Amino acid sequence: MTPPAFSPVALRFENIDKRYGGLLALRGVSLTVAPGECAVFAGRNGSGKTTLLRIAARLVRPSRGSLSFSNSSCDDEKSPVRPGFVAHATMVYDELTAEENLLLFARLQTVSRPERRVEALLEEVGLSDRRASLVGTFSRGMRQRVAIARALLHEPAVLLLDEPATGLDPPGVAWLAEAIRRLRDSGRTILMSLHGESEISSLGTRAIRLDAGSVVADTRTGATFRSVLTFADA
Ligand code: ADP
């Protein structure tokens, strides 16, 4: 097996607030997620999970507090860590084929030897034989595979997945679980938001619950997985 093309990275949120007008979407979130950890974020709709992942992806700036990445062999100021982000909407172009989508994003991200990388990723996500099909003809599960390949183009050490299992049928969920297991076991730092207990949540090495923008439970500080992942919907 070839060694990973990334160095392990820890991610740290320090006292993060995010304000949207009069609404405080995140309130004083402080957390460190270690390399190799697969942290599952649970919480009701509107509790702040997506906002936290978008801050980690550097798509949104916190109103207060800071996000940092630590990596023994690289300085984030000089060579910023770029997490891979699989958003809830798959963010791929329907009018392009799977291969064209990946080549486009590979070139935008200045991935070296883009054709080779895209070929390897199409193989890895099981889409080699559908490479020339328009993404507009794909099922949700196939689009999700393209989105995951897209997020992995630059060999990110940190992977962010926002409700990755939503809309997938049971075979799609089984495929996703296996893919996340492999990514977790490769030493990547994974943060994902989920609803409830599932085949996917069982991959978590840690679970954290957000409520109204605050961390209210964390298996790291003694909560059980079950109590973090299951909660009565108000
Ligand atoms: P979750 O992912 O847990 O459902 P979100 O992070 O999407 O929660 O949302 C947290 C809160 O922030 C919600 O009240 C939501 O309406 C609000 N919010 C999220 N994004 C925006 C935005 N761009 N503008 C205004 N409010 C937002």
pLDDT tens profile 96-155: 999 999 999 999 998 999 999 999 999 999 999 999 999 999 998 999 999 999 999 999
Give the ligand 1 atom nearest the CA of 45.
4
Q: Among 17, 29, 50, name the best residue to mutate to test ligand 1's pocket (greatest count of ligand atoms within 8 A of Cβ).
A: 50
Between the CA of 100 and the centroid of ligand 1 the distance, in Å, is 32
CA distance 157 to 186: 9
Q: Which residue has the tokens 């939503």?
A: 166
Between the CA of 51 and the centroid of ligand 1 the distance, in Å, is 6
Low-confidence ranges of the chain (pLDDT < 70): 1-4, 72-79, 232-234
Q: Among 13, 16, 20, 208, name the best residue to mutate to test ligand 1's pocket (greatest count of ligand atoms within 8 A of Cβ).
A: 20
**Would you give the distance in Å from CA 222 to the centre of its chain?**
24
Between the CA of 27 and the centroid of ligand 1 the distance, in Å, is 13
Give nearest CA residue, ligand 1 atom 9.
46
So what's the pLDDT on residue 232?
58
10 Å CB burial of residue 45 (0-12, 13-18, 19+) is exposed
CA distance 52 to 55: 5
Between the CA of 211 and the centroid of ligand 1 the distance, in Å, is 12
So what's the pLDDT on residue 74?
55
Backbone CA torsion sign across 144, 196, 185, 50: positive
Strands 38-42 and 206-211 come out as: parallel
Between the CA of 48 and the centroid of ligand 1 the distance, in Å, is 6
Type of residue found at 88: H
Backbone CA torsion sign across 52, 57, 63, 64: positive
So what's the pLDDT on residue 73?
57
Q: What is the DSSP letter of 97?
A: B
Beta bridge partners of 29: 16
Residue 216, both tokens: 């209210």
Comparing CA positions, the residue from 175, 4, 15, 153 lying closest to residue 73 is: 4
10 Å CB burial of residue 129 (0-12, 13-18, 19+) is exposed
So what's the pLDDT on residue 150?
94
Residue 50 contacts residue 128 (beta carbons within 8 Å):
no
Beta bridge partners of 210: 215
Task: List CB contacts of 46: < 8 A, sequence separation 6 or more.
Answer: none
Q: What is the DSSP letter of 2?
A: P
Task: List CB contacts of 104: < 8 A, sequence separation 6 or more.
Answer: 93, 96
Residue 2, both tokens: 């070839």
So what's the pLDDT on residue 28?
97
